[in-house]
Amino acid sequence: DAGVIQSPRHEVTEMGQEVTLRCKPISGHNSLFWYRQTMMRGLELLIYFNNNVPIDDSGMPEDRFSAKMPNASFSTLKIQPSEPRDSAVYFCASRMVGGTDTQYFGPGTRLTVL
C-alpha cells in the first residue's frame, strides 16, 4: 500500500492567500484526521472524520479553517485567508474504525505564510 499521501509537501504563500492542503488516506480506512504541528503548540488535532462525516472539529482554530471529505479517498483542509501564524506542518492520518486504534500518518505539508 502507498500509505497516506499528502500534497503539496511544501507550500509557501503570502498572507491573505487561500491555501488548500490535500490528503488521500490508506485504501479501506474510514477514519481521517488532520493535525497541525508547531514548536510552540506541539501536535494539535484539528478535525477528524468517520465515514466521510466530520465528527469533531473542536480543534479547528477559527473560521478561516475548513475541512471537507467528499469521498472515502480524499480530504482537503483549506485556510482562507492565510496568516503568518498558520505556518506549521500539517499532517493527515487515517485508521480503520473497528480495527486497532493505530493511526497511520502521512509525510506532512510544511506551510509557510509570509
Binding residues vs another protein (CB under 8 A):
4, 31, 33, 42-43, 45, 48, 50, 55-56, 89, 91, 93, 97, 100-108, 110
Nearer to another protein, 82 or 103 (CB): 103
* Residue 67 C-beta: closest distance to another protein, Å: 14
Least distance (Å) between residue 81 CB and another protein:
27
Would you say 95 and 3 are in contact if contact means Cβ atoms under 8 Å apart? no
Nearer to another protein, 15 or 43 (CB): 43
Spatial distance between the Cα atoms of 87 and 90, rounded to a whole number of angstroms: 9
| 7 CB-near residues (< 8 Å, 6+ apart) | 21, 22, 109
**Shortest CB 102 distance to another protein, Å:** 5
Residue 112 parent element (H or E): strand 109-113
Taking the CA atoms of residue 35, residue 37, residue 43 and residue 44 in that order, the dihedral angle to the nearest 10 degrees is -50
Nearer to another protein, 40 or 71 (CB): 40
Supply the minimum distance, in Å, between the C-beta of residue 59 and another protein: 9
